[in-house]
Structure 1
């Protein structure tokens, strides 16, 4: 199945599709030709703000249409219609998956996509759920049907960019009034130092990350749990995708490091295990072994820690590492972190084979 963009040359075909099928859950269940022609003329199906796609099956049959609008906004909306004789075959959910891919791969990086339907439209609601959308609202008596002079309840479903990138479905926190966390401040998504550009991860970084990790694997495996797993391009892409999603969600803030002079990727430094309530962050970092011994990681850690205190209003930044991780400990010391304690036999080694002592370093405001 695929989405094929509608063109003005297909006006008659679109009008035929709209007037020969029934739309019982739409405001206008039987749109007339004159109304459709006027809507097309005014850009209701194709403009800078609207795009319409045919939904075509593998036999090249036009089984439906989907119109996405408000494309100039951060949150596009859509209208999905499946022809009478093709309903019940799962085309709706598959079309929604194709549509979300189209929307979230636009260069403008849309924040979310959402759709609305009547609460009694069971087929559409099932399509939303199968496509990974989350029910976000139930609006009582919000859908007026002029033909019946009746109000129906309406429901809203949405998908966030974060969920799309991570391949997850995050339910709404309905108990939000019980939460008393501090608000998350706005902050820059890139940091410049004397020799480095530090920025948020992007999906196209996967090959650079894969090359650096592959080259550094013998060193990383000594003290890094995630380096114990088999490294492939696919697992690296999945890891980068998760980093992108976590950054958007403000769950973990990893910054990728690039040399200003050459643009080469050299490693990563991040703030993770974030507690926004008390403004506490854990530090995590690794460096391509090709670039060790030149002070790059110390430069990055100092910059990120200053960023945490200045822009994220951090109260405390911690760094935990194996007692035998001499390079990691040296970076922490050079970056102004103080050793607050050594926790004896409190964690497994990276390969999970024996107990190790953990050093706890910290900086406070």
Structure 2
């Protein structure tokens, strides 16, 4: 899946180098909002940082045999966020999904539709047997997504991430291929 039209307003597509400026602007516009749960934001200071991020995503194609690991979320023609597999373990056929959405795009059902598409993609195209999502225990909005799609809570990783001035625990959610009813 290089480009997927979810509906007439929402698409998932591969990032291109041309997205660097838009990704940087979206990140900066939403930084105070996103900073509560994303620890990498202070490492994004310039458009070049976003360009390097996109180059890394493109290089990830080799790891998956030509299938993209991550996607730009495009809503009404505008870059709204990103979703994809932060990690894929080929040995156990397990992928870990990560996602974020710009503040102005919240509350429109965008991420629910994007996640459903990525779950389908992971099981169908990437031939995964399990998909995981790891979320800070206090991130209630983000935790609602895997719970809505039938992921089971598998445990809590203590002090799993350093967020600027504190550690946060992560809830690990898992969904097996035979549990996905779509």
Does the TM-score normalized on the shorter chain lie above 0.5? yes
Matching residue within 50, 72, 80 for 1:256: 72
Matched, 1:304 2:123: no
**Measured at CA, do residues 263 and 248 of structure 1 come closer, stay the same or move farther in structure 2, by a change above 3 Å?**
farther
Deviations 1:181-235 (A, max 9, x none): xxxxxxx222221242111111101111111111110122111121122421121
Q: Which runs of 4+ in 1 moved over 3 A?
A: none
Matching residue within 102, 122, 127 for 1:288: 102
Shift of 1:325: 1.0
Rg larger in structure: 1
Please name the residue that 1:240 is paired with.
Answer: 54
Q: Give the number of equivalent residue pairs.
A: 174
Deviations 1:12-64 (A, max 9, x none): xxxxxxxxxxxxxxxxxxxxxxxxxxxxxxxxxxxxxxxxxxxxxxxxxxxxx
- For CA contacts below 8 A with separation 6 or more, give which structure has more relative contact order: 2
Shift of 1:291: 0.6
Distance in 2 between residues matched to 1:313 and 1:284, nearest whole Å: 18
Please name the residue that 2:40 is paired with.
Answer: 226
Asked whether the equivalents of residues 247 and 254 of structure 1 are also in contact (C-alpha less than 8 Å), the reply is: no
Stretches of structure 1 that go unaligned for 5 or more consecutive residues are: 1-187
Distance in 2 between residues matched to 1:253 and 1:230, nearest whole Å: 20
Please name the residue that 1:120 is paired with.
Answer: none
Matched, 1:279 2:113: no
Asked whether the equivalents of residues 320 and 359 of structure 1 are also in contact (C-alpha less than 8 Å), the reply is: yes
Provide the TM-score with structure 1 as the length reference.
0.45
Asked whether the equivalents of residues 223 and 349 of structure 1 are also in contact (C-alpha less than 8 Å), the reply is: no
Provide the TM-score with structure 2 as the length reference.
0.88
Deviations 1:106-154 (A, max 9, x none): xxxxxxxxxxxxxxxxxxxxxxxxxxxxxxxxxxxxxxxxxxxxxxxxx
Please name the residue that 1:216 is paired with.
Answer: 30
Distance in 1 between residues matched to 2:162 and 2:45, nearest whole Å: 19
Please name the residue that 1:268 is paired with.
Answer: 82
Matched, 1:202 2:32: no
Please name the residue that 1:109 is paired with.
Answer: none
Superposition RMSD on alpha carbons, in Å? 1.7
Matching residue within 170, 173, 179 for 1:361: 173
Shift of 1:272: 2.2
Asked whether the equivalents of residues 93 and 130 of structure 2 are also in contact (C-alpha less than 8 Å), the reply is: yes
Distance in 1 between residues matched to 2:71 and 2:167, nearest whole Å: 30
Matching residue within 160, 172, 190 for 2:3: 190
Shift of 1:357: 1.8
Shift of 1:253: 0.5
Matched, 1:328 2:127: no
- SS of 2:40's equivalent in the other structure is helix
Stretches of structure 2 that go unaligned for 5 or more consecutive residues are: 178-182
